[in-house]
Structure 1
Amino acid sequence: MDYKTSPFVDKIIEIKTSKHIPDEVINDNLMIIEEFLQNHIKCTPGPMSDCQQLIAGEEERLAYENGYIYIRFNHCAHWLHDNKYYLLTRNFLYANYNVLDFTQTFTDYLEEHKNLSNDEKKEIYGNSLALLKKNLENEKEWKGLYITGKFGVGKTYLLKCVANTYAFNNKTVVFLTANELIKVAKEVISKEDQSAYYQLEKKCLKADLLVLDDIGAESVSEWSRDEILFGILNHRMEYKKTTYFSSNKDLAALEKSYINKKALSNYVKDEQLKAARLVERIKALTKEVTIKGYNKRY
């Protein structure tokens, strides 16, 4: 059997190209593929009452893994319409807030600020909104942002909207402060039970998006800098995993804050190198932007 003689040849070529499936695998599984294409119903967003799937709410999809082609089921667009926060709750692997209490997305954020003129947006946000829009629209763009600004200008609020957007786009997310990450590590070590931290660390390593909020505000030690933060950020840099940060300090000030002030004089240069090594990972992971404005907390 040769897929090039199939009545579905155009769609098969599209599947083959998008999933990078070799010709021989396509031909070996041609009956499965043709049956899928003949019977497949693509749901469009709307209430479940409009769903035409054989199993309401479940849509077939063609999967290709480890050299094999499978038929699998996903929740369809109708099911997701009636369960609008499902992706949000499923894709947050860890968050230091209740995600169902904050469901705004980046689109909602732009809507909230639509009355600002272009000059006002440029004055407050610089190029940060344009960069965020580009990141969210282009899956190949993996570099995040290092967002700086004074207390209360809305850095965390903006990052929550961004994190929600990634989750709604079916990307896994971890959102926490740097201080909380270090605190969890300290607590489990003091209890001589490190399993809780290792679970959190694994999530930080593997998540499609990691947001480290308020970095540089935690108590700095050689251990937290070199064993905790560096390990996670180095891994994410090597595997090009999207990472965002917020901080009241720009990167130059952050680097200074990670130098252990108690180090003996003959170790100061070594401390400077270690601090620089950490910040270099952040630079490799992000583009630095600044948000201006007034303190919205009072």
Structure 2
Amino acid sequence: MKKNNLGKLLILMLCLPFILMGCSQSREKITIVGSSALQPLIEQAGNDYHLAHLSSNIVVQGGGSGTGLSQVQAGAVEVGTSDVFAETQKGIDAKKLEDYPVAVVGIVPIANKETGVKNLSIKQLSDIFTGKIKNWRQVGGKNQSIIVINRSRGSGTRSTFEDLILKGKEAVNSQEQDSNGTVKKIVNSTPGTISYISFPYANDQNIQKISINHIQPDNKNIPTNKWPLWSYEHMYTKGKPNKATAAFIKYVLSKKVQRDLVPKIGYLSIHEMKVTRDSQNKVTKIGN
């Protein structure tokens, strides 16, 4: 019996470090849900952070900005990510949330390459997405019906696009998709399609990025608002974050991430901006 007890004690001592590590990981689990536009950055930042903080366990999921905001408000997740300001969303009490803008992301209209169109005016874009223009021939392209692919309601990318392009007009009834990646695949493979995605997803040579008023969709045109389709990427917490969550947000806002990782993946650091935009889409020059 004594030998058996000694053996059990030795096994327990050998396993203890792994048990403690498992407990530590459980204590430091951070669940982040929301914007698919921000997902590539947070996933990569989470992986890099874990390499330096092995006890961390960062779980990143999409679902859209509306989902992120509602989940964090309900206390179901530690962080809700969003392309839009919380105060613009119905059912969200922004006063109970802490806002951490962590990047700026551009949005670009994309079309199937077969359409023959590379540039549109803001009015033409609006007329296409409200159903007024129905054929690519009307905007200089092929004699081909236009198929609009929209993002799902609750998508921050959709909210930004409609606020800035449609300006209150009702969008045409169309197929809706809940992620940037799915939209890109559909436009890539389906003749006549048009949609919009965030810049980090727009690296496929098989899709046609559409310039607006002959301004190229490029990160260098965003800081001065020359390219008008952009939004802040927010990380929201319910009240003050816990210690583990605060440490990860601090890491995302660090010089290392803002200077190196943010532009590498296709975003802009918040420190690059020469203008600001409020929740009502009013643009103000920084320094005024």
Give the structure with higher Rg (CA): 1
TM-score scaled to structure 2, two decimals?
Answer: 0.25
Name whichever structure is richer in helix by fraction.
1
Q: TM-score, normalised by structure 1?
A: 0.24
Greater length-normalized contact order (CA 8 Å, ≥ 6 residues apart): 2
Higher strand share: 2
